[in-house]
Structure 1
């Protein structure tokens, strides 16, 4: 397929993906305003975030099946129409329940979008050019959520929360029109017998695990809440049954035989570790900035913006370097750099300057950019074409689950550290003691993150450039 034909397809996908992923982080900063206007509690409002993650976590596993049943155009346009409808519903929502319905529609669009994006790249580009194309996706995937909080902060300075949705609508509509004109079908559809039991087990398993871990990190009583540990237990049982089912049926929903390719297996483990490490920073730093340093939400967003933007901007560059030099030249130095950065994060205090935090965050995001997309491209490159839909579904699903687990784990460790510090404090309600407790909790959590980064470095030494399997 010629270059001229590829570019409009890539642009179509990137425009749609940008605005659907942007919405994951656009709304969170408006929560205090929404609590007052919609007259709901924080725990009720949290469903706007938990519900979003839940729908994405349930839909992505089924995407391996959907991208084989429907054409590229049908999948992408269907996802964007769902997302746009959800955005409109959110904008005009008269009360909380309608806003939640809109968010779930948006999530459905996003959940279908990511696998279509990656699967199309695998079909469109030969292995020696995939790095640069995947890097372009990395630009969108990292850039969109990075500017979300800052952008919403700017909008909310002068406009009502509904404008967070109204301003996205024209861009989403443009994406649909652009894709309708330029997006061509690149994958072949085939008739597959849908295994309903696999679908049910997948929905219960991934949905329950994502919900359980998300709830544990959102102040619902943590792991002492029977709803949390009960839900996760049900999810794990359903997932065990799901795995057994996939290995026995002739046409599995998610073909786990992709794990017979060693670089794909290594990629999966590394990406889970990287998502946990990334979420440790994304979830812990705002607590540190606002709870210990006394920064506003908007100032916290600005402090983290340069690193996140740089992560997105250098993704195309790391993609091109991957095409030229292979994964080891990027992943091993990136993992070593990550170990050093995570160690520095375990040493921060209330006196640490904002400039130091800014530089540490920039370095962290550069290290992650050197590892994530090159590793992902290398692992997928080893799979034969018939495994592309399943490989992308596996990686996207496990990244969602790792994200939910990561947030719960790190916030849980941080909270435990805070409680332990305040239990020994002579005056636990004093401002300096509260700030000290926050720093102590964050230190403990970053120590876990440091441990993850060491494991990532050890795994990086086993990576080697893959050849596409012929099977």
Structure 2
């Protein structure tokens, strides 16, 4: 038990309750991917329409997470946890009993509100309740939550969809959330400092339009193209609103989000590493299920099991890397992580419609071992560069840009895959659909390997202060 000037609390139980809430929320980002084909048949909707179940989720997160940096300064920790759990449970129940697409979409949106509130709250609370020399270990566990939730979601949901039905994805999530809510009521204490800064309505509006426009633009680009008028207008409006948002924050005495976090170069560099990592995670989460089901012609359950070892290794190694980080710092881990990811992605860029499943498992595992090495050390190292007063702002910036990176990664994966398919089809008219899909996935993984290699080069510039 720890005691601060406000209350006595158990930091490990608090961390567990917040991490479980975040895990279920992030699990929901990709959990429905395996059920899209089932939902298209059941609700008689197109692929572009069903994609809104993910697009809307990411859109709400992109809008709400930066606003939550302000909410953390207005509401006590316990109250904000209760609010977030209310939205998460309500949305999950609505989705579980959905009888049409519209009801399911509404449930997903309510779900996302809960996740958008709990993500920055989790990071901020961990920075408050744990001292610097213990942050590596606890952030390792949190890295497990953030990375493994969307990574193992296709595995779990694939088994659930094939054996029980897509509704049970939400039944299981609702049960976990209710249990966690009961636990959280007992263990969550008020630890954050409430300053109640003045709310600048224009900043909230610009943030909503800016982050929402960018997430929406990239999300819809996967169904259309980057040259589509809707995509271009959304991105242009979003970018303009973000520029105005940043300009306004630098001129307010009490900004909604302090831009001072970007004055710390190593925080900014670490943020770039995390963006690359999230792009790779979400891109792989959509590419490999498409390839496994469309080229290798395996079931949802088998596709999920093929992706399980990578998720398991990530879960097993994250706490270990966290503890080692406390001893030796970020330098050995982040470069090794990017190098492993680049090797794994480059290997995946050579898969065909006849590639052995064992090789897919090996390459996917190498990628996610690399993610484990780079993700948590980047996040912990970056936040450690900030003074305590900037923790809420730094955690909100990281959480927001992770969601934007997820939308960009998903869109980039689809665009690159489509480009590769079109190029191959032009040279090989009449090619089988399974071959076309494999060639498209090859092309996408080639460029993802290049992005990982760029991250490796950037990781060589990490500066570690002398003790």
TM-score range, shorter chain: over 0.9
Name the residue aligned to 2:63.
58
* Within-5 A mapping of 1:179-328: 179-217=184-222, 219=223, 221-328=224-331
Query: Does residue 20 of structure 2 align to residue 44 of structure 1?
Result: no
Q: Find 1:155's aligned residue among 146, 155, 160.
A: 160
Query: Does residue 404 of structure 2 align to residue 401 of structure 1?
Result: yes
Question: How high is the TM-score relative to the length of structure 2?
Answer: 0.94
The alignment covers a number of residue pairs equal to 462
CA 1:214–1:393 in 2, change beyond 3 Å: closer, same or farther? same
Aligned-partner Cα distance in 2 for 1:156–1:448: 31
Q: Indicate if the aligned counterparts of 2:340 and 2:369 stay in contact, CA closer than 8 A.
A: no
Aligned-partner Cα distance in 2 for 1:241–1:223: 24
Q: CA deviation at 1:28?
A: 2.7
Q: CA deviation at 1:82?
A: 0.7
Q: Indicate if the aligned counterparts of 1:379 and 1:466 stay in contact, CA closer than 8 A.
A: no
Aligned-partner Cα distance in 2 for 1:27–1:467: 47
CA 1:397–1:131 in 2, change beyond 3 Å: closer, same or farther? same
Aligned-partner Cα distance in 1 for 2:385–2:315: 25
Query: Once superposed, which parts of structure 1, at least 4 consecutive aligned residues long, lie more than 4 Å away?
Result: none
SS at match of 2:250: helix
Query: Does residue 13 of structure 2 align to residue 8 of structure 1?
Result: yes
CA 1:364–1:96 in 2, change beyond 3 Å: closer, same or farther? same
Q: CA deviation at 1:467?
A: 8.5
Query: Does residue 109 of structure 2 align to residue 104 of structure 1?
Result: yes
Aligned-partner Cα distance in 1 for 2:100–2:330: 49
CA 1:247–1:361 in 2, change beyond 3 Å: closer, same or farther? same
Name the residue aligned to 2:6.
none
Question: How high is the TM-score relative to the length of structure 1?
Answer: 0.93
Query: Does residue 381 of structure 2 align to residue 378 of structure 1?
Result: yes
Aligned-partner Cα distance in 1 for 2:35–2:386: 42
Q: Which moved more, 1:2-11 or 1:199-208?
A: 2-11
Aligned-partner Cα distance in 1 for 2:155–2:449: 28
1:424-449 CA distance string (max 9 Å, x none): 21x42x42xx3333333223222221
SS at match of 2:226: helix
* Within-5 A mapping of 1:364-375: 364-375=367-378
1:259-299 CA distance string (max 9 Å, x none): 11121011111112222233332222223222322223322
SS at match of 1:167: helix
Name the residue aligned to 1:79.
84
Q: Indicate if the aligned counterparts of 1:382 and 1:466 stay in contact, CA closer than 8 A.
A: no
Q: CA deviation at 1:59?
A: 0.4
Aligned-partner Cα distance in 1 for 2:323–2:89: 33
Query: Does residue 452 of structure 2 align to residue 446 of structure 1?
Result: no
Name the residue aligned to 1:387.
390
Q: CA deviation at 1:206?
A: 0.6
1:26-72 CA distance string (max 9 Å, x none): 22322233233334333222221111111011001111111111111
Q: Which moved more, 1:164-173 or 1:1-10?
A: 1-10
Q: CA deviation at 1:223?
A: 2.4
Name the residue aligned to 1:70.
75
Q: Which moved more, 1:186-195 or 1:25-34?
A: 25-34
SS at match of 1:416: helix
Q: Which moved more, 1:449-458 or 1:124-133?
A: 449-458
Name the residue aligned to 1:21.
26
Aligned-partner Cα distance in 2 for 1:258–1:334: 25
